[in-house]
A and B are shown apart, each in its own frame.
Chain A
């Protein structure tokens, strides 16, 4: 470390050290003359205390001289510089400063955040730079914002910009930052040029960085990296991800909340709390080995319709940013199903819809059921107000009495499930439901004895059938079909998610207007197959109904990461959507036309938490979380860092030195002004005690 002065000419003020000496000498002449009766006692006292008095006088003189010298030193603004710091001795040039403002910099150490420590170090560095040095500031985290490349600034303007920079709930993108730095340096006319980086070197932001992957770089530009903060002693843990599962997003549905956790503490158990709508509803101790990741699952049942806030919390630790994770959940009202039985039997079991009804209303202990099923005969279908239903299931119905009403129902967004059967009259279907059925059916095919038809090709991407994805899903192939409807023609625009082994369609999907139709070429009872007795039947039916009512969305978004876009699909006659951030600020995002229809894109701000929105008369909630990658606070070593920079002249500095053989020093330059002020204060205090009147004069004892 070397000592230098920012205003060295003020050192001349040190000549004022002569002032106390002159005062000291003059003071002898400014004595008071007092005729006194007990001079003998004064003489005796002085004789007894002469040595102490002399010492005190000398001390007083020394203190006053030191105070004057100290004042001159303070005016000269001394700084201690490390070899890493550019000083007045160095030629003025260009410095690009990349500051790590990723979320990991919010971790606290010694009563302040790492980013606050970074800001002090960076300010010291800038203050210690040569006069005329130009700076450019590049924040490593931008939350996806596309900002113009920065510009060169003088020191005061740079410091101002630095003071405005904040930690963002995002990971640092050092690849982009270095590329921007080189773009800026290309404009630099003079030398020297340098890039300095202030970062905690947490792996989260540096894991995918390699100098070789940068475009258009100049390897001759030296890079100095200053590590901020110490190796954090891991404690607590973090919620890396929060997933909300369940068969549907309907009120009363069983909701599964799964959190992916990392245990960073010494204990082998992590306490997890689950909060629902602002209240703690459940908690668990989950066994996860120290340093490992694990999963914890909570279940809800009976949640009402509307928006819900789900929050998973861990005990708060030094890095609070990952101790909570949020998910927004919107639940729809129960799906209303009209089940039309085309072949009612004498007993319940003999009726065509027995198995379907049982599948849609299984015995459950839930307080609410996501489905409301109404059983009806064919004649009732003619009288039914279809607008009161979301899905209509036709089971072996000979022919719909009012094909036009049914077509209108589907066109407006309703769902229709058709199970074929022996009662169905293909000709009448073709007549009344020409534009509704996704296929034209013919007669009935019967399987050869001992060789039933079996389901073969299944499209597991289909929302209804995705649950049967092997190897974990159940299978449809065990069901044996003795008869099936012959498919004469698959209409254009339809899809066949499941076929029999011989290629004949079994399940055909077609879209009509805003609604969908699902046609099964076999019966819903045991007349043509044993499928109703197979385990796959219940999920198949329920998912079919939920899917057609628009409630089966396994990829339903519960939240986004900070900096990502939340996309709202357009609602007719709605120009904009209003989004309310956690701090209460309301943003209005307008719908704009795109290839996939009208969309409104809202970029989540810097706040994590719950955002609410109003889409016409529909309200909803979505969550914004910090990227979990920032939870990895392990530092990248200096050796590894150097290997990533290859041939680039790189120096790495840290506060405590000695890592991977790298050269570590105190970072930047440190102003001594504050320390000198403190010393001056104590010197003045000493002067007052030595020379000034006593604060509490000694009194004769009472």
Chain B
């Protein structure tokens, strides 16, 4: 029996409608959009997400006036008779780099927003959220103009630069994820969180090679796979000339006759991408362009240890 990857579906009419990408697309200002999404999400949480995001112990440092007394390590005081304060990883600034694929295939839309638009919404919302948490966030785009990198910063004003970059993006050029990741990995020396937003229309073996580069430097990886439902369902019924959006490829066929084989091929592709993500401890999730945006944020927060 044929098994298929079953991506989650949006549920119009539920609270998620406030994150509906088609509705949000009407907000031309990406900053406003990101704020709307993030604050909409945070308003729904019952307690602050900024406390105790991480519990991983990092180091001790001598107590200085102004430090909270509850942070003093009393056991160490008992042994050494000196005051030391515990420092945790979470309290060190997170360095996140959002990698947004803006190749030609990201310009596909089955009627709603394009994959690039949807990816931009996610990138903007995540950036807003991270800067709100005083984390450093950067943006890497890869499209017709080659690789463009905005290094991670925690300054809130950095959001404007990211948004400007996102608003100027056009879907063009070929996808070469491994080359892009390799170059990014080479440029950035500090380890951090890599959030890759792409349609992953590339050879899975090559993409995996890029993942290996990142993992080699002990980076955390989150893969946000963006897809349009038409790309998966292939619902076309008329004889169609399919023209590729990145390469000089054309094919005329009757979609009804090949639908079964097409779906099988796409399923296989998705399965392979998911498999190597798991193999490299990367979070993988598939997002459809008609899904509410907040799911990506929830996914991110879950990765950061938020449980509630």
- The chain A residues found within 8 Å of chain B, CB to CB, are 27-28, 30-46, 48-49, 52-53, 56, 693-694, 697-702
A49 to B260, CA, bound (A): 9
Residues of B within 8 A of A36 (CB): 108, 242-245
The residue from A33, A34, A701 contacting B4, defined by CB atoms under 8 A apart = A701
Q: Which 4 pairs show the lowest CB-CB distances between chains A and B?
A: A45-B261, A45-B262, A39-B244, A37-B105
B240 and A32: CB pair below 8 A?
A: yes
- The chain B residues found within 8 Å of chain A, CB to CB, are 4, 6, 104-108, 115, 199, 201, 228, 231-233, 235-247, 249-254, 256-266, 269
B243 and A33: CB pair below 8 A?
A: yes
Residues of A within 8 A of B254 (CB): 53
A702 and B265: CB pair below 8 A?
A: no
Give 26 A-B contacts (CB < 8 Å), ordered by A residue: A27-B239, A28-B252, A32-B239, A32-B240, A33-B240, A34-B242, A36-B242, A37-B106, A37-B108, A37-B201, A37-B244, A37-B245, A37-B246, A38-B105, A39-B247, A39-B249, A40-B201, A41-B266, A45-B259, A45-B262, A46-B258, A49-B257, A49-B258, A53-B254, A53-B257, A700-B233
A597 to B205, CA, bound (A): 120
A693 to B233, CA, bound (A): 15
B232 and A694: CB pair below 8 A?
A: no
Query: Residue of B at shortest CB range from A48?
Result: B261
With both chains docked as a complex, state the minimum distance between the C-beta of A136 and any C-beta of chain B, in angstroms. Answer: 61
The residue from A28, A38, A42, A56 contacting B201, defined by CB atoms under 8 A apart = A38
Residues of B within 8 A of A39 (CB): 242-245, 247, 249-251
Residues of A within 8 A of B269 (CB): 41
A42 to B242, CA, bound (A): 8
Query: Residue of B at shortest CB range from A702?
Result: B6
Query: Residue of B at shortest CB range from A56?
Result: B257
Residues of A within 8 A of B239 (CB): 27-28, 30-32
With both chains docked as a complex, state the minimum distance between the C-beta of A226 and any C-beta of chain B, in angstroms. Answer: 53
Residues of A within 8 A of B108 (CB): 35-37
Query: Residue of A at shortest CB range from B258?
Result: A45
Known: A42-B258, A44-B262, A693-B237. 20 other contacts (CB 8 A): A31-B252, A34-B240, A35-B243, A37-B106, A37-B107, A37-B199, A38-B231, A39-B251, A42-B251, A42-B253, A44-B261, A45-B259, A45-B261, A46-B261, A49-B258, A49-B261, A53-B253, A53-B254, A53-B258, A701-B4
B257 and A52: CB pair below 8 A?
A: yes
A694 and B256: CB pair below 8 A?
A: yes
A41 and B265: CB pair below 8 A?
A: yes
With both chains docked as a complex, state the minimum distance between the C-beta of A548 and any C-beta of chain B, in angstroms. Answer: 100
A30 to B240, CA, bound (A): 9
Residues of A within 8 A of B265 (CB): 41, 44-45, 48
A698 and B259: CB pair below 8 A?
A: yes
With both chains docked as a complex, state the minimum distance between the C-beta of A395 and any C-beta of chain B, in angstroms. Answer: 110
A56 to B258, CA, bound (A): 11
B interface secondary structure, majority: mixed
A40 and B249: CB pair below 8 A?
A: yes
Residues of A within 8 A of B244 (CB): 35-37, 39-40
B249 and A43: CB pair below 8 A?
A: yes
Residues of A within 8 A of B250 (CB): 39
Residues of B within 8 A of A48 (CB): 258, 261, 265
With both chains docked as a complex, state the minimum distance between the C-beta of A29 and any C-beta of chain B, in angstroms. Answer: 9
A44 to B252, CA, bound (A): 13
Residues of A within 8 A of B199 (CB): 37
With both chains docked as a complex, state the minimum distance between the C-beta of A263 and any C-beta of chain B, in angstroms. Answer: 64
B243 and A46: CB pair below 8 A?
A: no
With both chains docked as a complex, state the minimum distance between the C-beta of B223 and any C-beta of chain A, in angstroms. Answer: 18
A42 and B262: CB pair below 8 A?
A: yes
Query: Residue of B at shortest CB range from A39?
Result: B244
With both chains docked as a complex, state the minimum distance between the C-beta of A26 and any C-beta of chain B, in angstroms. Answer: 11
Between B4, B242, B253, B262, the greatest number of chain A beta carbons within 10 A of the residue's beta carbon is seen for: B242
A52 to B263, CA, bound (A): 16
With both chains docked as a complex, state the minimum distance between the C-beta of A54 and any C-beta of chain B, in angstroms. Answer: 9
B262 and A41: CB pair below 8 A?
A: yes
Query: Residue of B at shortest CB range from A38?
Result: B231
With both chains docked as a complex, state the minimum distance between the C-beta of A697 and any C-beta of chain B, in angstroms. Answer: 7
A32 and B238: CB pair below 8 A?
A: yes
A203 to B260, CA, bound (A): 68
Residues of A within 8 A of B259 (CB): 45, 698
Residues of A within 8 A of B266 (CB): 38, 41
A27 to B240, CA, bound (A): 11
B236 and A46: CB pair below 8 A?
A: no
Residues of A within 8 A of B249 (CB): 39-40, 43
Known contacts A39-B250, A53-B258, A693-B237: A34-B231 contact under CB 8 Å: no
Residues of A within 8 A of B233 (CB): 699-700
A471 to B34, CA, bound (A): 126
A35 to B263, CA, bound (A): 18
With both chains docked as a complex, state the minimum distance between the C-beta of A357 and any C-beta of chain B, in angstroms. Answer: 104
Query: Residue of A at shortest CB range from B2?
Result: A701
The residue from A37, A38, A701 contacting B6, defined by CB atoms under 8 A apart = A701
B241 and A33: CB pair below 8 A?
A: yes
Residues of A within 8 A of B257 (CB): 49, 52-53, 56
Between A27, A34, A48, A53, the greatest number of chain B beta carbons within 10 A of the residue's beta carbon is seen for: A34
A46 to B253, CA, bound (A): 7
The residue from A34, A49, A52, A53 contacting B236, defined by CB atoms under 8 A apart = A34
With both chains docked as a complex, state the minimum distance between the C-beta of B47 and any C-beta of chain A, in angstroms. Answer: 35
A42 to B264, CA, bound (A): 11
Residues of B within 8 A of A52 (CB): 257
A56 to B253, CA, bound (A): 13
A39 to B237, CA, bound (A): 16
Residues of B within 8 A of A30 (CB): 239
With both chains docked as a complex, state the minimum distance between the C-beta of B267 and any C-beta of chain A, in angstroms. Answer: 10
Residues of A within 8 A of B251 (CB): 39, 42-43, 46
With both chains docked as a complex, state the minimum distance between the C-beta of A290 and any C-beta of chain B, in angstroms. Answer: 62
With both chains docked as a complex, state the minimum distance between the C-beta of B287 and any C-beta of chain A, in angstroms. Answer: 15
Residues of B within 8 A of A701 (CB): 4, 6
